[in-house]
Amino acid sequence: DNDLMAYWLSNTSALLFLLQQSLKSGCSNDATPVRKPPNPTSLFCRMTMGFRSSPSSANLPARLEVVRKVEAMYPALLFKQQLTAYVEKIYGILRDNLKKELA
């Protein structure tokens, strides 16, 4: 059971990461000054910050610069929202299962 949950967590989080990298935010404005990004609050934001800062990702020649950002329409935003909820749900189930195993 945990093996399958880990498999789906890995795949869905990778898909969500790629989706987040390829979608433009709807409120972006060229006149807006560049600000420091806020501290990540959700589980997935913390995970992606870890991926970006890992030493192994620094060796990739063209990390994600080859991904062209596109403006997200409502169905894509809805899918992204549902996928985020799914990743967080799988993570919670897997965490609870492992806590029970260790206890």
- C-alpha span between 5 and 95 (Å, rounded): 10
Condensed to tens digits (0 to 9), the pLDDT of residues 55-95 reads: 655 555 555 466 788 999 999 999 999 999 999 999 999 99
The set of residues, in sequence order, having a beta carbon less than 8 Å from that of 87 and lying 6+ positions away, is 9, 12, 13, 16, 43, 44
CA 46 to chain centre: 8
pTM over 0.75: no
What pLDDT is stored for residue 4 in this prediction?
Answer: 95
Q: Helices 2-22 and 74-102 meet at what angle, rounded to 10?
A: 150
pLDDT tens by residue, 16-29: 999 999 998 765 44
Q: Identify whether the C-beta of residue 72 lies closer than 8 Å to the C-beta of residue 23.
A: yes
